[in-house]
Amino acid sequence: MSFKLESSKDFKKPPGPVCLIIMDGVGIGAEEQYNAWYCAKTPFLDALRSGKTPKGNTVLNAVVDASGRSVGLPEDSDMGNSEVGHNAFGAGRIYSQGAKLVNESMDSKSFKTGETWKWLLENCRDGKEGTLHLLGLWSDGNVHSHVKHAYALLDAALEEGCQHIRFHILLDGRDVSETSALDYVEPLEKHLVSLREKGIDVQVASGGGRMVTTMDRYEADWRIVQRGWLSHVLADTETIRTFSSASEAIQTFRKEENGIIDQFLPPFIIVDGKGSPVGRMKDGDSVILFNFRGDRAIEISTCFDATEGTFHHFDRGLMPKVRFAGMMQYDGESKIPKHYIVSPPNIERTLGEYLVHNECRRLSISETQKFGHVTYFFNGNRANKFNEELELYVEIPSSREREYTRPWMKAAEITDSALAAIDEFKPDFVVLNYANGDMVGHTGVYHAAVIAMEAVDVSLSRLVNGIIGRNGIAIVSADHGNCETMAEVDKKTGKPVKGNSPEGWKALTSHTTTPVPVMITGYGIDKYEIDESVTWGDAKRKKAGIVNVTATCVNLLGFEKPKEWLPGLLKPKSL
């Protein structure tokens, strides 16, 4: 099938660039006190939503889905996330995503017939002394992982005769309630006690909060991964604190630091009555990383897979000879990891690939925390460029400090660099991400989220006006919701659940299922209007999705969409 795009009869390319601006984690929520966007002073965004920029330019507005089945997740109740959101923006059609693919594999038990599963268990059954280690995010957030998948792996391993099993649990508080760790850990510990009573050697061996242990991404801070390595693999009790159980660790940390939330709990190691670690990895063991999402799984996978002399991020110490596999292959291009249990989605013929085959220049830009989203995920889980000459990727280094202490993040620097790159590189298409709404929203700190949205608004004003001044078109949207719902809300009353935040409510740190905005303004937009008939494919909901933005970008570049993509959001204005 050719990558040649046909010229459009209805759309004309502007003299300047078409720019897709993604406000990460900014949905359209209830106009309530817990909505950081609603309560922030955002005059520019307010103007865009009203249909006119402050300078009088027309703005076309739509509200679209960004969660559930509209982005390839199993159920409509599933929150959207940055990975599937950027996949959707880049793919132009809906692919079944990791959560859905793993659900299907676990439910059918088809993974048990795979060569990887058989290979992993060779050292852990039939009387052999190898231990099976299950490592991953311990919650049902269904963004990076789901506990039901780990329980399914446990059951399957027991059916195969495994006698020695260890859990290495990363605490969430980000995709689920901020202090819900014990809601997931205590049932696990209780279940493992019942298995030990049956003679199975199974225990929790280590853990830690996900934002300080193991789950770094985009090489922002390898110290996070190193803490995980010292805890899960080496069980270095001289460096990492020890406890008799995961519950004890969680409760102790909470007593020692008032107000600490799960994602920031320090790493810990579980030891026996003699003070010896119960789950140090050793030669002949097998390890499964049961996270299905790739961005925060790649670095720890690299630690296991990289051969001696090729790994330089930290000293791995005396490396045990283990068999390692991921739930999925997190980077198909780099083959990370080498072994995996469930095949990932094969996303092909993306916007990025079509652009280079049609001689269009592209700029991707964000700060470190979301750089992989405007490159790797936007490209259909491909890390490298399609064409070195036609693509420019710009990464603005993120701060290593917690986002609520610097809620403006790097929005200003991204804006400065984007406008400079537009002038120098002269791209036809730009994809840009402002991380503030999502990264600050995840902290649960309401006043910081308000500041984050105000910082985005200031930068958007400069960027969009700069694009219009360069005869371009700006498409402002979001990949999923987050900061518009900063409190857990009682479903019956619609009011915030009471809690310990300074505002008096229980902070919500997870994504949401709210729809997101699409605001389009710039050169020649007066000639078009929103096509209200466009949907993402669900006749009942009758709403478009972020997946329809892809074809919108191609149309505004002067092309007809590829046949395999869903339609765009615009049509020529009726006379």
Here the CATH number for the domain that contains residue 32 is: 3.40.720.10
Calculate mean pLDDT across residues 272-300.
97
The bridge status of strand 323-328 relative to strand 340-342 is parallel
Q: Report yes or no on 10 lying in a domain.
A: no
Task: Express each pLDDT in 348-358 by its tens digit.
Answer: 999 999 999 99
Q: Please tell me whether 370 is known to bind a ligand.
A: yes
Q: Please tell me whether 232 is known to bind a ligand.
A: no
Q: Report yes or no on 319 lying in a domain.
A: yes
Q: Report yes or no on 13 lying in a domain.
A: no
CATH number, domain containing residue 156: 3.40.1450.10
Residues 170, 60 share a domain: no
Calculate mean pLDDT across residues 563-567.
96
**Which pLDDT value is given to residue 334?**
84
- Angstrom distance (rounded) from CA 209 to CA 268: 9
Residues 369, 428 share a domain: yes
Task: Express each pLDDT in 385-412 by its tens digit.
Answer: 999 999 999 999 999 999 999 999 999 9
Q: Above 80 in pLDDT, residue 541? A: no
Residue 477 structure tokens: 């949207």
Q: Please tell me whether 400 is known to bind a ligand.
A: no
- Boundary residue ending a domain (288, 310, 342): 342
Residues 236, 163 share a domain: yes
Residues 427, 439 share a domain: yes
Residues 6+ apart with CB under 8 A from 315: none
Q: Above 80 in pLDDT, residue 539? A: no
**Which pLDDT value is given to residue 575?**
63
Which of 549, 571, 569, 568 is CA-nearest to residue 19? Answer: 549
Q: What pLDDT band is residue 553 in, cutting at 50, 70 and 90?
A: very high
Q: Please tell me whether 438 is known to bind a ligand.
A: yes
Q: Please tell me whether 76 is known to bind a ligand.
A: no
Q: Report yes or no on 11 lying in a domain.
A: no
Which of 64, 63, 68 is CA-nearest to residue 81? Answer: 68
Q: Percent of the chain at pLDDT above 70? A: 99
**Which pLDDT value is given to residue 345?**
87
Q: Report yes or no on 419 lying in a domain.
A: yes
More confident: 77 or 137: 137
Q: Please tell me whether 166 is known to bind a ligand.
A: no
Q: What pLDDT band is residue 127 in, cutting at 50, 70 and 90?
A: confident
DSSP state of 503: T
354-to-438, 461, 550, 557, 565 alpha-carbon distances in Å:
29, 30, 11, 12, 12
Tally of structural domains, the chain = 2
Which of 191, 220, 212 is CA-nearest to residue 203? Answer: 191
Q: Please tell me whether 447 is known to bind a ligand.
A: no
Q: Please tell me whether 295 is known to bind a ligand.
A: yes
Residue with tokens 């019956």, as numbered in its chain: 492
Q: Above 90 in pLDDT, residue 53? A: yes
Q: Percent of the chain at pLDDT above 90? A: 92
Q: 181-196 and 246-256 helices cross at what angle (nearest 10)?
A: 150
434-to-50, 452, 454 alpha-carbon distances in Å:
22, 10, 12
Q: Above 80 in pLDDT, residue 457? A: yes
Q: What pLDDT band is residue 332 in, cutting at 50, 70 and 90?
A: confident
DSSP state of 126: T
More confident: 77 or 242: 242
- Boundary residue ending a domain (289, 313, 342): 342
Q: Please tell me whether 82 is known to bind a ligand.
A: yes
Task: Express each pLDDT in 181-197 by its tens digit.
Answer: 999 999 999 999 999 99
- Angstrom distance (rounded) from CA 119 to CA 244: 32
Which of 513, 463, 490, 515 is CA-nearest to residue 34? Answer: 490
Residues 351, 338 share a domain: no
Residues 362, 504 share a domain: yes
Domain of residue 457: give its range: 19-96+346-572
Q: What pLDDT band is residue 75 in, cutting at 50, 70 and 90?
A: confident
Helix, strand, or coil (residue 277): strand
Calculate mean pLDDT across residues 216-241.
96
Q: Please tell me whether 244 is known to bind a ligand.
A: no
Residue 314 structure tokens: 């930290």
Q: Please tell me whether 24 is known to bind a ligand.
A: yes
In angstroms, what is the C-alpha Rg of the chain?
24
**Residue of 8, 70, 82, 398 with catalytic role:** 82
Q: Above 70 in pLDDT, residue 368? A: yes
Q: What pLDDT band is residue 538 in, cutting at 50, 70 and 90?
A: low
Residues 447, 303 share a domain: no
Q: Report yes or no on 5 lying in a domain.
A: no
Residues 366, 317 share a domain: no
413-to-108, 385, 424, 435, 523 alpha-carbon distances in Å:
48, 23, 16, 12, 25
Residues 372, 452 share a domain: yes
Would residue 96 show up in a list of annotated catalytic residues for this protein? no
**Which pLDDT value is given to residue 395?**
97
Taking phi first (over 0 means left), then psi (-120 to 50 degrees means alpha), and beta for anything else, what does residue 494 get?
A: left
How is the beta sheet containing 286-289 ordered, strand by strand?
241-243, 268-270, 201-209, 164-171, 132-137, 286-289, 323-328, 340-342
Q: Report yes or no on 76 lying in a domain.
A: yes
Query: From the centroid of its chain, how far is CA 285?
Result: 30
* Count of other CB atoms within 10 angstroms of residue 118: 11
- Angstrom distance (rounded) from CA 507 to CA 471: 42
Phi/psi at 442 (5° precision): -65, -20
- Angstrom distance (rounded) from CA 456 to CA 30: 20
**CA dihedral defined by 402, 404, 409, 411, rounded to 10 degrees?**
150
- Boundary residue ending a domain (342, 362, 385): 342
Q: Please tell me whether 511 is known to bind a ligand.
A: yes
Residues 402, 448 share a domain: yes
Q: Please tell me whether 174 is known to bind a ligand.
A: yes
Q: What pLDDT band is residue 238 in, cutting at 50, 70 and 90?
A: very high
Calculate mean pLDDT across residues 442-470.
98
- Angstrom distance (rounded) from CA 197 to CA 199: 5
**Which pLDDT value is given to residue 558?**
98
Q: Report yes or no on 220 lying in a domain.
A: yes
Average pLDDT, the chain: 96
Residues 237, 295 share a domain: yes
**Which pLDDT value is given to residue 445?**
96
Residues 311, 199 share a domain: yes
